[in-house]
Structure 1
Amino acid sequence: MRKRNKCTNLYTAVKPYRGVAKVLGGDPKGNNFLYTNGKTVIIRNIENPAIGDIYTEHAHQVNVAKYSPSGFYIASGDITGKIRIWDTTQKEHLLKYEYTPISGKIKDIAWTEDSKRIAIVGEGREKFGAVFLWDSGSSVGEISGHSKVINSVDIRQKRPYRLATGSDDTCGSFYEGPPFKFKFTIRDHSQFVNCVRFSPDGARFATAGADGMIFIFDGATGERVGSLGEDKAHKGGIYAVSWSPDSSQLISASGDKTVKLWDVGAGTAVTTFNMGSDVSDLQLGCLWQKDHLLSISLSGYINYLDKNNPDRPIRTVKGHSKSIQCLTVHKNEGQTYIYSGIFYHLLLQLFSLIFASHYWDAETGENDCFSGKGHSNQVSKMVTTDAGELVTCSMDDTLRYTNIGKKEYSASDVVKMDFQPKSVSAAVGGLSLAVCIGQIVLLKDKKKVFTLDNFGYEAEVGVIHPGGTTAAVGGADGKVHLLFHINQMHSVKNDFYGHHAKPVSLAWSPDNEHFATGGMDMMVYVWTVSDPDQRIKLPDCHRLHHVSGLAWINEHTLVTTSHDASVKQWTITY
């Protein structure tokens, strides 16, 4: 019988870079917003950002994605100059067309209001932009007039169509069409022009630059009609602007760590949103979608701004923007929390190794990160105990036990291992199981009580049964081995076959009758202990990478994570 298993949740942050604008896109109905991270495009529900979808068909890093005005398609562009146009109405996101209009990074995309023409700009050798028909790739004009990289493009959403661009050459350009032809150069800015956006009614367009200036122009003629702010709009460079649905206001995101809400007619700031004082609080993108005002911080966090309380966002959507190494699940007072961890290099500290943990509310997607100093090297696995502790194992050859209630790493309760641990799990009664290089170690109350060597295969990962009597161990031979009476670890029952490469993650189901495995073959299986031939297969859970972590919320809900920086929840039906 075919099993129907559904992915319902996705948690992924934006991956921004300092000094580079980050484009947020919105669907025309105002229900979703989208952004890019690595090779993926992430679509999230704006009311409940825990609900999301992910597009993974780009072979290279994708920089920008935009909905068509019809809402039926999304165009996304990558660093090689390739643009993919794909369907939004079906879960499979079928590819409609693919083109390579320029020979370098695509930085921005714009559609005409009839969803028939697309403009793209960015880096290139022969040219920095192109305009073409979406269904044939045929040119409908020329984007010229710039001598350097074009950062931004937008098209007036009413006839007669107009097109505007902004470039690193400190200029903007204005075009008429179609076919689009260069009309004149806009020379008002003194530094890079980072963003160009037409108002929804087409009456005006705004340009924003690294000089902290915002200029307003007539949408039909391109004539300058004003600017925002008395001297400058912001004290720092401006990376993005976004208009209100009624075209009377706009928001701007700046490197001065603020977002401002402007009355465009008066040219004055109505509200200033102070986003913090740290470097990570630089504001690199923004979106006005229906009643929602969003901004992107350098930290990768997405902020829901509050007009009535400008110093505190209504909501901050946090998450990982880098490869996730591991995760686990913990229940507390009726709430389920997902804990996930990343590992990355901090360049400013001579490549010192940092480990960061996040904890997530499984129902809402709300999350935050641990404080304090964690491991000194990459963390391989993590698990929670019935005593309310987070147990982590690291390439620094230690196990670390951290009190979950405090949400802060502790220097105490660290166990030094004889060999580098690859995996750790826990069961009732203070039991922990560590799979190390060449050794499996059983611990009770943070003390080693038994070790197993020379077991006939290279163990990669292991999980102890919640009852504490059985362990499942995944080997480099591609098999899963069940060990019974683990205090002696001498009895082996069935071997579970299915993976074409070594399993790297394991998790017991709360029903104690099933366990899940994730392998380097990018497959996830849910196994039945009593019958190794009865298994549920979840192919391509994370299309770009293998599953790096597994955990169960309940017997029908499995959580997976991967190096694509996403966390997903799956409904499992037996």
Structure 2
Amino acid sequence: MAQLAETYACVPSTERGRGILISGHPKSNSILYCNGRSVIIRHLDRPLEVQVYGEHAYPATVARYSPNGEWIASADVSGVVRIWGSRNEFVLKNEFRVLSGRIDDLQWSPDCQRIVASGDGKGKSFVRAFMWDSGTNVGEFDGHSRRVLSCTFKPTRPFRIVTCGEDFLVNFYEGPPFKFKLSHREHSNFVNSVRFSPDGTKFISVSSDKKGLLYDAKTGEIIGELSSENGHKGSIYAVSWSLDSKNVLTVSADKSAKVWEISEDNNGKVTKTLVCPGSGGVDDMLVGCLWQNDFIVTVSLGGSIFLYSANDLDKAPLALSGHMKNVNSLAVLKNEPKCILSCSYDGLIIKWVQGIGYYGKLERKVISQIKCFAVVEEEIASSGFDNKVWRVPLHGDQCGDAECIDIGNQPKDLSVSLLSPDLALVSIDTGVIILRGAKVVSTVVLGFTVAACTIAPDGNEAIVGGEDGKLHVYSVTGDTLKEEAVLEKHRGAITAIRYSPDVSMFASVDANREAVVWDCASREVKLKNMLYHTARINCLAWSPDSSMVATGSLDTCVIIYEVDKPASSRITIKGAHLGGVYGLVFADDHHVVSSGEDACIRVWKVTTQ
């Protein structure tokens, strides 16, 4: 059997020029955010405890706990809101199509009976409030002419709703049933966020015009503003109140977060400016924030989450980061036990440590998209969509000066010889390229369309898989290949081939969902009938002791086979990654690590009978 041991969560999806919404549980230190179709539940004091809700059919945009913490309402780009239990296996309570376009914000009423959602829609329907159990409308929301970026529910009676958006307006509604009361146009740019204070006495709006305005919660009239002294120098994307309603937190495109004290005359002055660690690039713009009990949380455009202690703002923040896009490759550092490297196709390489989680990003001088990725000893070899192969030396947590070679073709697969890492094999459509260091020593046209390749640890043998499902075994002599055998068993394009660590076997997988284990000496099938996936197999990995082989598929499952047992006694991990499994590696003989389209990485403890 296989048990989930750890999850290294993805980071929130972000978009340049827009704020994002992260929200918290009213009585605990868990937060919610969205990435792709997933809603992520994370515990700030237990970062390795992560839960993922993946039932949306379209990318999710916002999620919020109900005030009693029992339910979560989440919305997506198609205008659908799903209401589901925060515990008990996320049981679905209701699903409503609320708007005709993307939902950008939603909030519960304090009695948990109503929900207001805002975003993009047809005509003038940019806001809707409805009963949580029936979906019945509870008001009319006139007054906006463009996308409504934020909405908020007054947390005390009498209930009020405030909305703001791309038409520079802040609108105030009384109810229920809610009716338009008044509108403010004091902002001169997009109004990105509006929030009531927890005590229900006032609310605040922040805008891309770098200003923040304070209003009376009962009347909707402006009563103060955030001081321009030490204020933000860029668009303010998000705002969050402290629990006692005496302070607010704002984040901005100027790459800083600011804590403001709200005085009795309802004006705000900066008491602390928080500059998040980073290189100062575009990715360090801050686009989301949350004041959650004793934590101050900020989120950068690059997705990094920074946790500050609200009681000690001088203390350096804890950084929680991860991938935002599909994680397509994994590797284990042999010289550093429990260290895992992961790579997403956008070129980000992250180091993780089992038991700790996020350890840091590997800073590369040249950031390029990565398609294939291999780690041997103290070096990373990678190839991307730019037709180049990179060799990057690893110095601890830093990358040295990279060597690169343009091979003139799109690489399909990359394999490095473990015992002589200078030697690498790259497959392209028409054949393979042999590299020594950063030099092309041979380009071999093979006469069939190539799909995958691997080279033996000693560099003396190579196996090339074709789109036609055939495996061609070659002996490698110097810089030439000599065909020794053609193996026919697969009925689909080969997607991956890997030698076992003891080099007595190799495994191959295909797009027609079959895996095969072969004996290296006899070139006969050693383990057959491995046909338990329901879709294309993307990746495979061997355990260090060569006793197990794991496969990962587009069907979201990981299947682990013991080589000495029939395929029917397999271990299946269902739903390992929403959208499909794209990366697999064994950390040791008892732990397999998987990654996928959901941008998460999971460590599974494998127990065999």
The answer to whether the aligner puts 1:288 opposite 2:294 as a matched pair is no
Q: Out of 449-458 and 526-535, give the one that drifted further.
A: 449-458
Q: Which amino acid aligns with 2:364?
A: G
Of the three residues 166, 179, 182, the one matched with 1:181 is 179
Once the two structures are superposed, what CA deviation does each residue of 1:12-71 show, in whole Å capped at 9, x if it has no partner?
012211111111111111321111112211111111323211111111121111111111
Q: Which amino acid aligns with 1:455?
A: L
Of the three residues 75, 78, 84, the one matched with 1:77 is 75
The answer on whether the counterparts of 2:542 and 2:549 sit within 8 Å (CA) in structure 1 is yes
Q: Which residue of 1 aligns with 2:467?
A: none
The answer on whether the counterparts of 1:282 and 1:297 sit within 8 Å (CA) in structure 2 is yes
Q: Report matched runs for 1:85-96 at 5 Å.
A: 85-90=83-88, 92-96=89-93
Q: Which amino acid aligns with 2:394?
A: N
**Does the residue aligned with 1:147 lie in a helix, a strand or coil?**
coil
**CA 1:401–1:494: 2 relative to 1, 3 Å:** farther
**Separation in 2, partners of 1:310, 1:49:** 20
Q: Percent identity?
A: 33
Once the two structures are superposed, what CA deviation does each residue of 1:91-135 show, in whole Å capped at 9, x if it has no partner?
x31211111121111110011111111000111113110111100
CA RMSD for the aligned pairs? 3.0
Q: Report matched runs for 1:265-304 at 5 Å.
A: 265=263, 267-275=268-276, 277-304=280-307
The answer to whether the aligner puts 1:540 opposite 2:532 as a matched pair is no
**Separation in 2, partners of 1:272, 1:337:** 35
**Separation in 1, partners of 2:190, 2:35:** 24
Of the three residues 475, 486, 495, the one matched with 2:510 is 475
Q: Which residue of 1 aligns with 2:527?
A: 494
Task: Compute the displacement of 1:330 (Å).
Answer: 2.4
The answer on whether the counterparts of 2:577 and 2:598 sit within 8 Å (CA) in structure 1 is yes
Task: Compute the displacement of 1:228 (Å).
Answer: 1.2
Q: Which amino acid aligns with 1:528?
A: E
**Does the residue aligned with 2:348 lie in a helix, a strand or coil?**
strand
The answer to whether the aligner puts 1:360 opposite 2:395 as a matched pair is no
Of the three residues 54, 57, 64, the one matched with 2:55 is 57
Q: Which residue of 2 aligns with 1:422?
A: 413
**Separation in 1, partners of 2:422, 2:551:** 21
Q: Which residue of 2 aligns with 1:237?
A: 235
**Separation in 2, partners of 1:116, 1:483:** 61
**Separation in 2, partners of 1:418, 1:299:** 30
**Separation in 1, partners of 2:368, 2:208:** 38
**CA 1:559–1:433: 2 relative to 1, 3 Å:** farther
**Separation in 1, partners of 2:384, 2:193:** 43
Q: Which amino acid aligns with 2:329?
A: C
Of the three residues 108, 112, 115, the one matched with 1:111 is 108
Q: Which residue of 1 aligns with 2:117?
A: 120
Task: Compute the displacement of 1:300 (Å).
Answer: 1.3
Q: Report matched runs for 1:11-90 at 5 Å.
A: 11-90=9-88
**CA 1:433–1:233: 2 relative to 1, 3 Å:** closer
Q: Unmatched 5+ residue regions in structure 2?
A: 428-449, 462-474
Q: Out of 218-227 and 56-65, give the one that drifted further.
A: 218-227
Q: Which residue of 2 aligns with 1:205?
A: 203
State the aligned residue count: 555
**CA 1:134–1:330: 2 relative to 1, 3 Å:** same
**Separation in 1, partners of 2:132, 2:409:** 61
**Separation in 2, partners of 1:360, 1:109:** 34
**CA 1:474–1:166: 2 relative to 1, 3 Å:** same
Q: Out of 20-29 and 473-482, give the one that drifted further.
A: 473-482
The answer to whether the aligner puts 1:371 opposite 2:363 as a matched pair is yes
The answer to whether the aligner puts 1:320 opposite 2:323 as a matched pair is yes
Task: Compute the displacement of 1:357 (Å).
Answer: 1.3
Q: Report matched runs for 1:429-468 at 5 Å.
A: 436=427, 437=450, 440-444=453-457, 450=476, 454-456=486-488, 457=490, 458-468=493-503
**CA 1:478–1:167: 2 relative to 1, 3 Å:** closer
**CA 1:272–1:358: 2 relative to 1, 3 Å:** same
**CA 1:381–1:521: 2 relative to 1, 3 Å:** farther
Task: Compute the displacement of 1:554 (Å).
Answer: 3.1
TM-score of the pair, normalised by structure 2: 0.84
Q: Which amino acid aligns with 1:336?
A: K
The answer to whether the aligner puts 1:337 opposite 2:339 as a matched pair is yes
The answer on whether the counterparts of 2:582 and 2:597 sit within 8 Å (CA) in structure 1 is yes
Once the two structures are superposed, what CA deviation does each residue of 1:205-250 show, in whole Å capped at 9, x if it has no partner?
1111111111111222222221111468422111111000111101
The answer on whether the counterparts of 2:419 and 2:457 sit within 8 Å (CA) in structure 1 is no
Q: Which amino acid aligns with 1:93?
A: F
Q: Which residue of 1 aligns with 2:133?
A: 135
Task: Compute the displacement of 1:6 (Å).
Answer: 3.1
**Does the residue aligned with 2:283 lie in a helix, a strand or coil?**
helix
Once the two structures are superposed, what CA deviation does each residue of 1:162-210 show, in whole Å capped at 9, x if it has no partner?
2111121111111222222221112322222111101111111111111
Once the two structures are superposed, what CA deviation does each residue of 1:326-379 show, in whole Å capped at 9, x if it has no partner?
11222555x5122111223xxxxxxxxxx3311112222223222335696642
The answer on whether the counterparts of 2:381 and 2:389 sit within 8 Å (CA) in structure 1 is no
Task: Compute the displacement of 1:552 (Å).
Answer: 2.1
Q: Which residue of 2 aligns with 1:156?
A: 154
Q: Which amino acid aligns with 1:408?
A: C
Q: Which amino acid aligns with 1:507?
A: A
**Separation in 2, partners of 1:376, 1:147:** 41
The answer on whether the counterparts of 1:392 and 1:424 sit within 8 Å (CA) in structure 2 is no
Of the three residues 516, 529, 546, the one matched with 1:512 is 546
